[in-house]
Amino acid sequence: MNSNRRTYCFPNFVEALFIVIALFFLEYLTGALIAGLGTAAGLKKMAIADIARVLAYGVGFAVLLDQNGLTYRGLVEGDRFSWRSTLGLFLLPVLLITPGLLVVENLLQWVTVQWFPLSDARREAGYYFITDGLSSVFLVCVIAPVVEELLFRGIFLRSFLRQYSSSRAIVYSALIFGLAHMNVYQFVVAFVVGLLIGWMYERTRSLIPGMLLHAFYNTAVTLTALRCGPDVRAVCGEWGMPFMWYPTALAIGVPGAWLLFRLLGIKVPTSLRS
């Protein structure tokens, strides 16, 4: 019996929500304070946002790590393998499942837009957010996967797994991850991705697989945006990508998912074995 799951550990679900809100305001305040210096130095808005996020999350992590008696190395590495071994094991399967995940998320986005229509202005704003120069790409594809995994899985989910059942902890961390994006469109995407990454973390106790998936997925989204442009539906079809991408994603995603399930110790159904 896992009685330790009901033992209080900082932060719990409610405390994690307040931490996310506090970090949002800290990041906003930091960005406002350095905006003048950044502009004078010739930096773009997204470059200033990069610096603000790193500084704000750095302060937040310092406090949270101290509260939990952790180090960055202890936060990232798992119990089963070294980070190099984990990276080598998970790089290929995570890369293979990324196109399939992008297809699933595009379909979910399409359904969400049917319920909550997206204006052209908001669609273009989202496009320019992730494609506005190298700083935007760096923020979306590198900084966000690292700092968000450190926070949402490394600190929040790590704590939740000591207080709640595994399934409940994973759902809680994915829910907070989705809410942190502050709009219904990204909430749906982040929640589903958060469930998958949370499951991977629960199995490995390492942030490496989640960082890989997060980075690969964000990179795939960025490349799709660059390929299709702001008017996604007109260029790439109603569901956000050319039709031929779907069978390709399925063809490479199935072996990738099989490898991932094997690595995580999940029994693969006989029908899927070669």
Number of compact structural domains in the chain: 1
Q: How many CA atoms lie within 13 A of 136 on its CB side?
A: 16
Query: Is 180 within the bounds of a domain?
Result: yes
Answer yes or no: is pLDDT of 29 > 80.
Answer: yes
User: Does residue 262 lie within any of the structural domains?
Assistant: yes
Task: Tell me the pLDDT tens digit for each residue of 166-179.
Answer: 999 999 999 999 99
In a domain, 16, yes or no: no
Tell whether 169 is covered by a domain: yes
Give how far the C-alpha of residue 39 lies from the chain's centroid of Cα atoms, to the nearest Å.
29
Q: How far apart are CA 264 and CA 274, in angstroms?
A: 18
Q: What is the pTM of this model?
A: 0.88
Q: Which of 242, 223, 249 is nearest to 95 (CA)?
A: 249
Confidence at 231, pLDDT banded by 50, 70, 90: low
Within a domain: 163: yes
Cα 4 from Cα 216, distance rounded (Å): 35
pLDDT digits (tens, 9 = 90+) for 163-217: 999 999 999 999 999 999 888 888 999 999 999 999 999 999 999 999 999 999 9
- Structural domain includes residue 187: yes
Instruction: For residue 142, tell me if it sits in a domain.
Output: yes
- 36-85 confidence digits (pLDDT tens): 877 777 777 777 877 888 888 888 888 888 887 888 877 887 666 678 88
Sign of the torsion formed by the C-alpha atoms of 221, 91, 191 and 54: negative
Residue 223: phi and psi, rounded to 5, are: -65, -40
Question: Where in the sequence is the domain holding 109, given as residue range(s)?
Answer: 80-272
182 occurs within a structural domain: yes
